[in-house]
Chain A
Amino acid sequence: MPKRTDIHKILLIGAGPIVIGQAAEFDYSGTQAAKALKREGYEVVLVNSNPATIMTDPELVDATYIEPITTEILEMIIAKERPDALLPTVGGQTGLNASMKLAEAGVLEKYGVQMLGASVQAVRLAEDRKLFQEKMLEVGLSVPRGRMANNVEEGIEIAREIGSFPLLLRPSFTLGGSGGGIVYNEEEFAERLAFGLRESPTHSVLVEESILGWKEYELEVMRDRANNFVVVCTIENIDPMGIHTGDSVTVAPSMTLTDREFQMMRDQARVVMHAIGVETGGSNVQFAVDPQTGRVIVIEMNPRVSRSSALASKATGFPIAKIAALLAVGYTLDEIKNDITQTTVASFEPSIDYVVTKLPRWAFEKFPGVDPTLGTQMKSVGEAMSIGRTFKESFLKGLQSLELSRAPFPTPENALWDRRIESLARGRAERMWTLWEAFRAGHSVEEINRVTHIDPWFLVQFEQIVALESETAAYHDAKDLPPALLHQLKQSGFGDEHIAWLLMQPVWPPRPIPVEERLARIMEKKHLPSAQSIGKIRQMRKQQGIQPTYQMVDTCAAEFAAHTPYLYSSYETESEAPPSSREKVIILGGGPNRIGQGIEFDYCCVHAVQAVRKRGYEAVMINCNPETVSTDYDTSDRLYFEPLTVEHVLNIVEREQPLKGVIAQFGGQTPLNLIHDLHANGVPILGSSPDTIDRAEDRGRFGDLLRELDIPSPAFGIAKSREDAHVIARSVGYPVLVRPSYVLGGRAMVIVYDESTLDGYVATALAASPNQTLLIDHYLEDSFEVDVDALCDGEQVVICGVMQHIEEAGIHSGDSACVLPPFKISAYHLAYIQEYTELLGRSLGVIGLMNIQYAIKEDRVYVLEVNPRASRTIPFVSKAKGVPFARIATYTMLDRTLRQMNLSEEPAMRGFFVKEAVLPFKKFEGVDARLGPEMRSTGEVMGFADSFGHAFAKAQAAAGDPLPAKGSVFVSVNDYDKSAALKIARDLHRMGFPILATRGTAEYFERNNLPVERINKVRQGSPHIVELIKAGKVALILNTPLGQVAYEEGAQIRTTAVRYGIPLLTTLSAGQAAVQGIQALRAKQLSVRSLQEHYRQIPTLQQYKFDQNP
């Protein structure tokens, strides 16, 4: 069946900001779908609130709306664009929920918009657990016992029916299982159930028998409108049932199923898809299998592309989202060509001759106090995928890709993890490392299987890896290692660093070391092998001819020739896809997403690839994050799905000759961490030199430069011990900002007001710092911060944009909302910013991008830091200005000057663009939802309008905290903030918002003649503020305590606000912005405009010549 010609214009809804459970994979799927539909000649309209996405690049589709994904806004867009159809299945749960709401609100019917791929009924059937389970039973499939509770009483009754704990709670319609979990006893049951009921938009929670410890499988399946069906990939979870699949280590293909068992599952997946009524597209069906009897239970299905389908696409080379889009417009699987073989069709099931492992990465270190136990609610923030010819190779490469610990040995990051065997019983982030130690300590497969329920097949593999470790540790010098053993180690996936570490062990197994001593050793830096000893292993390998080979991911296990150089390394007998004779540029990606390093950097990498290709070089991409667009096989000329370690990058550098150089500026801190070693190995680094980077990152050298240039900066010092810290803090003056050097996203960074707090902090902070030094800066209290992104070609400096933070200094720039253009900075300050930026760019010799953070206090502009690389804000600035800065930066690194591109000054812009951070507090029960110097947001949204107020209001709505139009506002601020808070409260009062406040604030307001209702603090007894929030009687909260003690007091209020979804403002400046937002909303309705339309109104945009070759 050919494509449909009755539809012409198709609306795609993206997934919005990156949150836990919904990450970059939906940029990958949305981009694929958009490209496929465009290629088929359809007009495509796209909506996504997340500017850090490739899918929102204006050249991709016809009309791009970076707008909040709300029914109201979507209706405006539909009314304006009048699409014929909506594809709801490529934008994650957000896109699907938004589409369902549009259907339910009658918007689709009103404007005659068809839903493609899945019907409203099918989505409801798949998403509503009760309907789903009923349907499964009706078609003869098994489901766990249990049913839906709509209130707590009902839930207790169901628990009684099932008869035993643990029980599983699964709220309907939530992301990443939010609000769900395993309940072990009656005591916690009611409270957890109540929370789940609130989390669920339909106020329903499934209470069911626990199938904890069962084997867990996922089938990625596709169906077309002729009812053709294929299984693209089978994924086996190493972590059994009970741990969310997003938090599980998973493997493809399945390892422990016979064909008979697998085919039954395949049949059932087909029945599920049929029964649910997914007409076309991809779905994910999850099964649990009783390891004792083989009983198969259907767990759930997602009638859309998912995180797992992105993984399956990368694991097999079969582009699920692209094909889903083509199926949605009427093609059948047999009409779609397999891109990789170019001779076969998409209606087949990929066969793979390698093993793929996916490992999650968590960020618990950012959320002290959060229970790191894994359960049915996803908690990881990113993932790495690895490919090897065997499971061992794949798994060990996966550990290297995580960057947490390049190998399974103690490193600064994991030194404090719980390694007792008892801790294995509960799934924890560190479980895979604990397993290792358990095997090293001599525990048996049976013992470990008993506590973890991990299939013995995997445990035997781990046991064998540990046995190889022990065999290796008997040697102490690389030259003594028998070549056969070295070859076996490499074939089994051991990194050179891991081998070097084994050789330096005096005894094996390493003696168990108490945590304190472990820390001390790490301080002494004696736990890690030196670059030299790692280099020795490399040298030995080369001497013995033990060299990596490169194999293709070809969808077909080599049955057909492949034409897409999508490669992974192994230690086999021959390499495929020999490099061409063209000059190449290698782009290093960002690895697994984490807080502080996410999709923004992948956006930049993709632009770098585009620029490299446009300039006629061959673009070689290295990355190991399966969620990304950069690892789509058609993004670059050649793709290496490999860990971002010196060893793997050097291997590729040696193969991909002739090489112009390596670009390390776009992948965040990951590639920057490699450049010293790469440079030392003679690898040409494009853009800013390693020396430039070092000068900017080394506070000593950087301080010298600032003095030389006479640029003010907060006083600082570098401490190597507690005593140092005291002296420095006193000399720079409290409050001080303390942080370890060379870190990302402000990790382990705090503002300290006094000596005793400083003391307590020093020990833990030192633990997080690889080079054991602490930076202590004077903290400019009450200043406000400005982020500047700039381009430099070595001579000329051009500012991309000046972003004013809405939160004051001290809040991490990644967590602060910001606005472009700055609307409250004087020309006086701006002139300094311009001057300092130019001075710094030129003096540092930056080539490409740099980001400078300034603080403005009174009449002075201070430089806080300079990062000579792409920053998180590059996609935001690029979208706001309509100028692809990452591409331009790449051109400057290759061979062009800014002048050649007609770029001589900061590009002009219109309107206001507000970036707002999206925080994961809701996923981490009990965490204090305050903002601080430590970055904790997972994603961002952009609000865009002609006025600041409207832009701010849109950003808040897009971030999921829409400003209220009515209701009570609760204000609680400390004495210091009271006068400013009064103005805000007065404005809100004038707009008709009743003001609530606790005693201190209330008295102050009353004294100043502002009517206020007094509310008890919690300790003053009922009825108190927390109860009021719980009862839904508060519409907005302004809570800005300062200092450690007040923070603790407010924590309960903030935590409750987050749990109940009440907009929470923790800074005065955010309060002022909110007032402006609400005023704007009252004055004038919101309106929408596509980026393309917006850019057409900026005449200066036409003058640039960045993408044209001279």
Chain B
Amino acid sequence: MAQQRKVARLVLEDGSVWRGWGFGAEGTQEGEVVFNTSLTGYQEILTDPSYAGQIVLMTAPQIGNTGMNEEDNEAGRTYLEGFVVRELSPSTSNWRASSDLSDWLKARGVIGITGVDTRAITRRLRERGSLCGLLTTDEIQTDAGLVERARQVKGTDGKDLVSQVTCKAPYVWEDRTQKTWEFTQYFGSIEWDSREDRPALHVVVMDFGVKRNILRRVAAWNCRITVVPAQTTAEAILGYQPDGILLSNGPGDPSAVTYAVDTIRELLGKVPILGICMGHQLVSLAMGARSYKLKFGHHGGNHPVKYLPEGRVEISAQNHNYAIDAASLPKEVELLYVHLHDQSCAGIRDPQRCVMGIQYHPEAAPGPHDADPLFRQFIQMMLQHKKTRPTA
């Protein structure tokens, strides 16, 4: 057990130094440290572009047990700056596993640290709010030197991280949720059964760091999907003649992505829009609302949100450090969902302009599927819109 382990350190801007063992890649990486309370789903988290600029700490203590597989990646590569766990699994056990977590991270240049008191770090983040820091396998530098360096690390405020993760060129997406993993049938959706008979809707996805499962879930509704870079103009987007526009999730501070806000403003009212996470924040900004930074964000798969019109509660997957100030929403925009823990804005709707914004993740991955029917609502919104305005 004790063979050839290399020491790694997680150094936080508050001066604390956490010594553990390194795994994955070697070197030094900087970022904002966030904790995620999901019990399962580290693979999806590791490949979620929304974590760009962040060092992710898992509160679940045993990580790596199921290795990594070919199916559960949310992007083609990783964007996060480091991975912090209580105990890295010494073995991989799952019928779908194709590689071991440590090797996988190494191949992608991500540093991991294991054997640190993740609960103590989480308590710090909870008390003091998000902290910047660095993760290093460098054994030469002193703690003091590293702390000094950690203090220089810039947070995500005002940083346009989207431009680092968005695609370089438009592409067509076809992959849909495989039959073995489809679950909608359990909930007796009639539309589901007849989806193949409908003419395909065309959805343009503005990629702010899109998770593949968003694309898979939309594709599962028999949609044609074109993914475009975040900087694509409104004119170019409308040129695709979309039935709807999906504004994807993405990393960091929405207020720094001004170009996208401008583009969305031009699209408002022209085609139905669904914004997810970053997409929700951007469309809200485009409609005139304000964003703010949460103390330590919402990252996990157990967040309750209430659908205000009916009082129903969904357990949702969440991953965001910024939120929309509900009080700043213009009159015509309806607050649709609130987060039950802190009453923050979890979803909005503007029926007039066919806009829906969801702060959390209906695509789950990882997380519960409670919010998946939102995709159906998006489809219905597009169909409705198509009916009333046949030539968009």
* A contacts, CB < 8 Å to B: 139-141, 226-231, 234, 253-260, 262-264, 266-268, 270-271, 291-294, 332-334, 343-345, 347-355, 389-391, 445, 455-457, 460-461, 464, 467-468, 471, 488, 551, 556-561, 572-574, 576
Q: Which of B39, B367, B370: most chain A Cβ within 10 A?
A: B39
**Cβ B366 vs Cβ A263 within 8 A:** yes
Is B311 positioned at the interface, with any CB of A under 8 Å from its CB?
Answer: yes
**Cβ A351 vs Cβ B340 within 8 A:** no
**Cβ A572 vs Cβ B120 within 8 A:** yes
A256-B65, A457-B89 given; name 5 further pairs at CB < 8 Å: A334-B340, A348-B302, A348-B303, A351-B300, A353-B119
**Cβ B60 vs Cβ A347 within 8 A:** no
**CB contacts between A and B, total, < 8 Å:** 190
**Cβ B95 vs Cβ A294 within 8 A:** yes
**Cβ A557 vs Cβ B59 within 8 A:** yes
Q: Which of B40, B89, B181: most chain A Cβ within 10 A?
A: B40
**Cβ B340 vs Cβ A253 within 8 A:** no
Is B138 positioned at the interface, with any CB of A under 8 Å from its CB?
Answer: no
The 3 closest A-B pairs by CB, nearest first: A259-B41, A259-B366, A557-B59
Q: Write out the residue numbers on chain B whose beta carbons fall within 8 Å of the beta carbon of A348.
A: 302-304, 315, 340-341
**Cβ A263 vs Cβ B369 within 8 A:** yes
Chain B residue nearest to A576 (CB atoms) is B123
Contacts A258-B96, A334-B306 given; indicate if A266 touches B368 (C-beta within 8 A): yes
**Cβ A455 vs Cβ B312 within 8 A:** no
Kindly state the separation between the CA atoms of A349 and B95 in the bound complex, as whole angstroms.
Answer: 27
Kindly state the separation between the CA atoms of A557 and B87 in the bound complex, as whole angstroms.
Answer: 15
**Cβ B313 vs Cβ A347 within 8 A:** yes
Instruction: Please tell me which one of the listed residues B1, B35, B315, B365 contacts residue A464 in the complex, with CB atoms under 8 A apart.
Output: B1
Q: Write out the residue numbers on chain B whose beta carbons fall within 8 Å of the beta carbon of A334.
A: 304, 306, 311, 313, 340
Kindly state the separation between the CA atoms of A986 and B295 in the bound complex, as whole angstroms.
Answer: 84
- Chain B nearest CB from A965 CB (Å) reads 52
**Cβ A253 vs Cβ B60 within 8 A:** yes
Contacts A263-B369, A268-B186, A557-B122 given; indicate if A391 touches B62 (C-beta within 8 A): yes
**Cβ A558 vs Cβ B38 within 8 A:** no
Is B37 positioned at the interface, with any CB of A under 8 Å from its CB?
Answer: yes
Is B130 positioned at the interface, with any CB of A under 8 Å from its CB?
Answer: no
**Cβ A294 vs Cβ B367 within 8 A:** no
Kindly state the separation between the CA atoms of A268 and B60 in the bound complex, as whole angstroms.
Answer: 23
Is B14 positioned at the interface, with any CB of A under 8 Å from its CB?
Answer: no
Chain B residue nearest to A272 (CB atoms) is B186
**Cβ A389 vs Cβ B93 within 8 A:** no
**Cβ B315 vs Cβ A253 within 8 A:** no
**Cβ A258 vs Cβ B69 within 8 A:** yes
**Cβ B313 vs Cβ A333 within 8 A:** yes
**Cβ A464 vs Cβ B90 within 8 A:** yes
Is B91 positioned at the interface, with any CB of A under 8 Å from its CB?
Answer: yes
Chain B residue nearest to A468 (CB atoms) is B1
Q: Write out the residue numbers on chain A whose beta carbons fall within 8 Å of the beta carbon of B123.
A: 558, 574, 576
- Chain B nearest CB from A1067 CB (Å) reads 54
Kindly state the separation between the CA atoms of A1047 and B273 in the bound complex, as whole angstroms.
Answer: 83
Instruction: Please tell me which one of the listed residues A468, A559, A574 contacts residue B126 in the complex, with CB atoms under 8 A apart.
Output: A559
Within 8 A of A (CB), among B116-131: 117-120, 122-123, 126
Is B133 positioned at the interface, with any CB of A under 8 Å from its CB?
Answer: no
Q: Could you pull out 21 A-B pairs where Cβ atoms are within 8 angstroms? A: A254-B39, A254-B40, A260-B365, A260-B366, A263-B364, A263-B369, A267-B186, A291-B95, A348-B340, A348-B341, A349-B368, A353-B119, A460-B93, A471-B2, A488-B1, A551-B119, A556-B37, A557-B59, A558-B59, A558-B123, A559-B122
Contacts A334-B313, A349-B301, A574-B120 given; indicate if A263 touches B368 (C-beta within 8 A): yes
**Cβ A355 vs Cβ B61 within 8 A:** yes
- Chain B nearest CB from A552 CB (Å) reads 9
Q: Write out the residue numbers on chain B whose beta carbons fall within 8 Å of the beta carbon of A139.
A: 186
Q: Write out the residue numbers on chain A whose beta carbons fall within 8 Å of the beta carbon of B43.
A: 258-259
**Cβ A253 vs Cβ B181 within 8 A:** no
**Cβ A351 vs Cβ B302 within 8 A:** yes
**Cβ A343 vs Cβ B341 within 8 A:** yes
Q: Write out the residue numbers on chain A whose beta carbons fall within 8 Å of the beta carbon of B90.
A: 460-461, 464
Q: Write out the residue numbers on chain B whose beta carbons fall within 8 Å of the beta carbon of A557.
A: 35, 37, 59-60, 119, 122
The digit string for B163-198, where 1 denotes a CB below 8 A from any CB of A, is 000000000000000000101011100000000000
**Cβ B120 vs Cβ A253 within 8 A:** no
Is B44 positioned at the interface, with any CB of A under 8 Å from its CB?
Answer: yes
Is B94 positioned at the interface, with any CB of A under 8 Å from its CB?
Answer: yes
Kindly state the separation between the CA atoms of A602 and B14 in the bound complex, as whole angstroms.
Answer: 46
Q: Which of A234, A256, A456: most chain B Cβ within 10 A?
A: A256
Q: Write out the residue numbers on chain B whose beta carbons fall within 8 Å of the beta carbon of A294.
A: 95-96
Q: Write out the residue numbers on chain A whose beta carbons fall within 8 Å of the beta carbon of B93.
A: 256, 455-457, 460
Kindly state the separation between the CA atoms of A488 and B87 in the bound complex, as whole angstroms.
Answer: 12
- Chain A nearest CB from B64 CB (Å) reads 10
**Cβ A347 vs Cβ B61 within 8 A:** no
Q: Which of B38, B119, B187: most chain A Cβ within 10 A?
A: B119
Within 8 A of A (CB), among B37-67: 37-41, 43-44, 59-62, 65-66
**Cβ A573 vs Cβ B40 within 8 A:** no
- Chain B nearest CB from A386 CB (Å) reads 14
Q: Write out the residue numbers on chain A whose beta carbons fall within 8 Å of the beta carbon of B66.
A: 256-258
Q: Write out the residue numbers on chain B whose beta carbons fall within 8 Å of the beta carbon of A230.
A: 315
Contacts A391-B62, A455-B93 given; indicate if A258 touches B41 (C-beta within 8 A): yes
Is B71 positioned at the interface, with any CB of A under 8 Å from its CB?
Answer: yes
**Cβ B94 vs Cβ A350 within 8 A:** no
Contacts A227-B312, A256-B93, A348-B303 given; indicate if A389 touches B122 (C-beta within 8 A): no
Q: Write out the residue numbers on chain B whose beta carbons fall within 8 Å of the beta carbon of A254.
A: 39-40
**Cβ A345 vs Cβ B119 within 8 A:** no
The digit string for B337-373, where 1 denotes a CB below 8 A from any CB of A, is 0001100000000000000000000001111111000
Kindly state the separation between the CA atoms of A135 and B334 in the bound complex, as whole angstroms.
Answer: 41
Contacts A351-B302, A353-B61, A457-B91 given; indicate if A390 touches B119 (C-beta within 8 A): no
Q: Write out the residue numbers on chain A whose beta carbons fall within 8 Å of the beta carbon of B35.
A: 557-559
Kindly state the separation between the CA atoms of A461 and B306 in the bound complex, as whole angstroms.
Answer: 41
Kindly state the separation between the CA atoms of A355 and B61 in the bound complex, as whole angstroms.
Answer: 8
Chain B residue nearest to A289 (CB atoms) is B95
Kindly state the separation between the CA atoms of A345 and B342 in the bound complex, as whole angstroms.
Answer: 10
Is B86 positioned at the interface, with any CB of A under 8 Å from its CB?
Answer: yes
Kindly state the separation between the CA atoms of A391 and B62 in the bound complex, as whole angstroms.
Answer: 8
Contacts A457-B65, A467-B1 given; indicate if A259 touches B341 (C-beta within 8 A): no
**Cβ B313 vs Cβ A228 within 8 A:** yes
Q: Write out the residue numbers on chain A whose beta carbons fall within 8 Å of the beta carbon of B39.
A: 234, 253-254, 262, 351-352
**Cβ A226 vs Cβ B311 within 8 A:** yes
Q: Write out the residue numbers on chain B whose beta carbons fall within 8 Å of the beta carbon of A558.
A: 35, 59, 119, 122-123, 126
Q: Write out the residue numbers on chain A whose beta carbons fall within 8 Å of the beta carbon of B312.
A: 226-228
Q: Write out the residue numbers on chain A whose beta carbons fall within 8 Å of the beta carbon of B367.
A: 259, 263
- Chain B nearest CB from A634 CB (Å) reads 22
- Chain A nearest CB from B19 CB (Å) reads 10
Chain B residue nearest to A294 (CB atoms) is B95
Chain A residue nearest to B16 (CB atoms) is A573
Chain A residue nearest to B44 (CB atoms) is A259
- Chain A nearest CB from B126 CB (Å) reads 6
Is B72 positioned at the interface, with any CB of A under 8 Å from its CB?
Answer: yes
Kindly state the separation between the CA atoms of A231 and B38 in the bound complex, as whole angstroms.
Answer: 13
Q: Write out the residue numbers on chain A whose beta carbons fall within 8 Å of the beta carbon of B94.
A: 256-258
Kindly state the separation between the CA atoms of A1031 and B288 in the bound complex, as whole angstroms.
Answer: 84
Kindly state the separation between the CA atoms of A293 and B94 in the bound complex, as whole angstroms.
Answer: 10
Q: Write out the residue numbers on chain A whose beta carbons fall within 8 Å of the beta carbon of B60.
A: 253, 351-353, 557
Kindly state the separation between the CA atoms of A773 and B95 in the bound complex, as whole angstroms.
Answer: 54
Instruction: Please tell me which one of the listed residues A343, A351, A389 contacts residue B37 in the complex, with CB atoms under 8 A apart.
Output: A351
Instruction: Please tell me which one of the listed residues B38, B117, B186, B301 contacts residue A270 in the complex, with CB atoms under 8 A apart.
Output: B186
Q: Write out the residue numbers on chain B whose beta carbons fall within 8 Å of the beta carbon of A576.
A: 123
**Cβ B59 vs Cβ A573 within 8 A:** no
- Chain A nearest CB from B57 CB (Å) reads 10
Kindly state the separation between the CA atoms of A254 and B39 in the bound complex, as whole angstroms.
Answer: 8
Q: Write out the residue numbers on chain A whose beta carbons fall within 8 Å of the beta carbon of B72.
A: 258-260
Q: Write out the residue numbers on chain B whose beta carbons fall within 8 Å of the beta carbon of A263.
A: 40, 183, 364, 366-369
Q: Write out the residue numbers on chain A whose beta carbons fall within 8 Å of the beta carbon of B61.
A: 353-355, 389-390
